[in-house]
Amino acid sequence: MRMRCDLGALLVLAPLPAGVTIVPFSAEIAPSCRTLMNDVYAEGFGDVVDFDTWWPALQADAEYDPNLCLVAVAGKEVIGFCQCWTEPFIKDIVVAPRHRRRGLGTALLSRALAAFAARGSAHIELKTDADNLRAQSVYRRLGFEIVEWVG
The per-residue DSSP string of 120-138 comes to: T-SEEEEE--TT-HHHHHH
What average pLDDT score do residues 44-48 get?
A: 84
Residue 151: pLDDT over 70: no
Give the whole-angstrom CA distance, residue 74 versus residue 57: 28
What are the phi and psi torsion angles at 6 (to 5°)? -75, 130
Q: pTM, whole model, 2 decimals?
A: 0.94
Q: Which residue has the higher pLDDT, 51 or 44?
A: 51
What average pLDDT score do residues 48-62 get?
A: 96
Domains of the chain: 2-148 (3.40.630.30)
